[in-house]
Amino acid sequence: MNALAATSRNFKQAARLLGLDSKLEKSLLIPFREIKVECTIPKDDGSLVSYVGFRVQHDNARGPMKGGIRYHPEVDPDEVNALAQLMTWKTAVANIPYGGAKGGIGCAPGELSISELERLTRVFTQKIHDLIGTHTDVPAPDMGTNSQTMAWMLDEYSKFHGYSPAVVTGKPVDLGGSQGRDAATGRGVLFATEALLREHRKSISGQRFVIQGFGNVGSWAAQLIYENGGKVVAVSDISGAIKNSKGIDVPSLLKHTIEKRGLKALMGQIQLMQIQYWWKTVMFSSLRHLAVENANGIRAKFIIEAANHPTDPEADEILSKKGVVILPDILANSGGVTVSYFEWVQNIQGFMWEEEKVNNELKTYMTNGFKDVKEMCQTHNCDLRMGAFTLGVNRVARATVLRGWEA
Ligand SMILES: NC(=O)C1=CN([C@@H]2O[C@H](COP(=O)(O)OP(=O)(O)OC[C@H]3O[C@@H](n4cnc5c(N)ncnc54)[C@H](O)[C@@H]3O)[C@@H](O)[C@H]2O)C=CC1
Ligand SMILES: O=C(O)CCC(=O)C(=O)O
């Protein structure tokens, strides 16, 4: 099942639990706008190359649409649609005044030079600048993009509309980015995991963790778990994985991966292995897919979906039958967009916050999000994924009806 079919299936199940009427259900599912643009740029060698860019704006009942821009070879309309829809439910779960959107360009960022990436980002921004804006649609980084990408988008957008720092979030701090945004998704994952473990009378410090994906989200999550006394026993990225059942020294690992650009460079120093699942752990998934063929081997008690839609629905079913507790993406990784919201508020106010305030507010939002999801689980007698979906869908449905949009 592709990402859009899986996301829509979860939405429909939530709509049924909430008893939504069929017209409202249909209007909530259909995206507001789907944008597709050709981005042609000169390569450094003078040849011309064209990439397809997308922005799907799913829903704006609760506020401006919000969501990241992904650069990845597998970006396609279905995936971007699914991710945009997930953003609508995620911002509602986080209870921040936004709708949902997502964008991306089908390209391999690692194969482009910095100047090619800059040209691509600027052309993409030129093509969509009339359709985004501080109060309409506010992009941010996602897989394959970062604060530099947002700085180029801000600069290009400002050529058309005047200096507009709040048009994108996840910017460098020197350009109005928020303290703490870089770490925010990983930190939010930590706070949500603490809330979940507390419920099971456990804490970070007593647990062993496996981290899949070691980019922005995975590496910050690993670092924060380490700082809070958790034992990180395995880490993987696209190039391979390392394990150490006594616990990995995360700060040293981070230093190596930053210097050598990935885990593979560690071959020979630390044992490189295929991704393994046999530990009794808390598993953080911050890569793309937890496929059905892996689900049978997993012995983790908890899976924290730090990535968006990392678990195939068939794998989800197998894991649920095994009693694995899954903290779903739209709650677990909502710390990123929450601090993006703080950044947008700071830009509009023209007043910047200290990092401590950002982190404290983030903790409050993540803890409240977990509590609200648990209440929905009790009301509808459902698992955490359906608890999060019913919470998000219900909040968007209420705003839609109040605005008189349901018909
Ligand atoms: N950056 C953010 O603030 C947010 C990101 N997310 C989601 O978190 C996920 C990760 O995003 P980022 O960390 O920003 O991306 P990133 O591009 O910084 O890192 C992705 C990591 O996954 C690894 N990876 C890719 N395929 C893999 C595979 N098959 N096996 C093992 N590792 C693999 C890469 O090597 C890299 O370490 C994405 O699903 C993204 O949508 C969600 C909320 C906010
Ligand atoms: O920070 C943001 O606005 C969006 C982050 C994002 O794309 C996500 O939560 O998946």
- Residue-wise pLDDT for 364-406, tens only, equals 999 999 999 999 999 999 999 999 999 999 999 999 999 999 7
Question: Which residue among 189, 287, 304, 343 is best mutated to probe the pocket of ligand 1, counting the most ligand atoms within 8 A of its Cβ?
Answer: 287
- CA distances 217 to 43, 143, 284, Å, are 30, 9, 10
Question: Tokens for 338?
Answer: 């929450």
Which range is least confidently modeled, 180-189, 199-208, 248-257, 267-276?
Answer: 267-276
CB of 329 closer than 6 A to ligand 1?
A: no
Q: Kindly report, residue by residue over 161-194, the tens digit of the pLDDT.
A: 999 999 999 999 999 999 999 999 999 999 999 9
Strand partners, 264: none
Q: Quote the pLDDT of residue 282.
A: 60
Strand partners, 270: 267
Instruction: Give distance in angstroms: CA of 288 to centre of ligand 1.
Output: 7
Q: What is the pTM of this model?
A: 0.95
Taking the CA atoms of 218, 222, 228 and 229 in sequence, report the sign of the dihedral they define: positive
With beta carbons less than 8 A apart as the criterion, state whether 269 and 248 touch.
Answer: no
Instruction: Check pLDDT > 50 for residue 140.
Output: yes
Element (H, E) at 34: strand 33-42
With beta carbons less than 8 A apart as the criterion, state whether 185 and 306 touch.
Answer: yes
CA dist., res. 322 & res. 210, Å (int) = 18
What mean pLDDT do residues 211-221 have? Answer: 90
Q: 3-class DSSP state for residue 240?
A: strand
Instruction: Check pLDDT > 50 for residue 278.
Output: no
Confidence of residue 234 (pLDDT cuts 50, 70, 90): confident
Mean pLDDT of the chain: 91
Instruction: Give distance in angstroms: CA of 141 to centre of ligand 2.
Output: 7
CA dist., res. 281 & res. 92, Å (int) = 30
Nearest in space to 329 (alpha carbons), one of 339, 340, 316, 320: 316
Q: Whose CA is nearest to atom 7 of ligand 1?
A: 307
Which ligand ends up closest to the CA of 102? Answer: 2
Four-CA torsion 294, 300, 301, 304, nearest 10 degrees: -80
Question: Tokens for 57?
Answer: 């704006």
As a whole number of Å, the end-to-end CA separation of the chain is 30
Confidence of residue 274 (pLDDT cuts 50, 70, 90): very low
Q: Quote the pLDDT of residue 286.
A: 54
Looking at residue 165, the DSSP 8-state letter turns out to be: G
The number of residues making up the chain comes to: 407
> Phi and psi dihedrals of 125, rounded to 5?
-65, -40
Taking the CA atoms of 283, 289, 291 and 294 in sequence, report the sign of the dihedral they define: negative
Instruction: Check pLDDT > 70 for residue 132.
Output: yes
Q: Quote the pLDDT of residue 120.
A: 98
Q: Quote the pLDDT of residue 275.
A: 44
Written as one letter, the residue type at 187 is R
Annotated active-site residue in 12, 26, 43, 102: 102
Q: Quote the pLDDT of residue 269.
A: 42
Question: Which positions make up the binding site?
Answer: 66, 90, 185, 216, 340
The set of residues, in sequence order, having a beta carbon less than 8 Å from that of 19 and lying 6+ positions away, is: none
Residue 357 among the catalytic residues: no
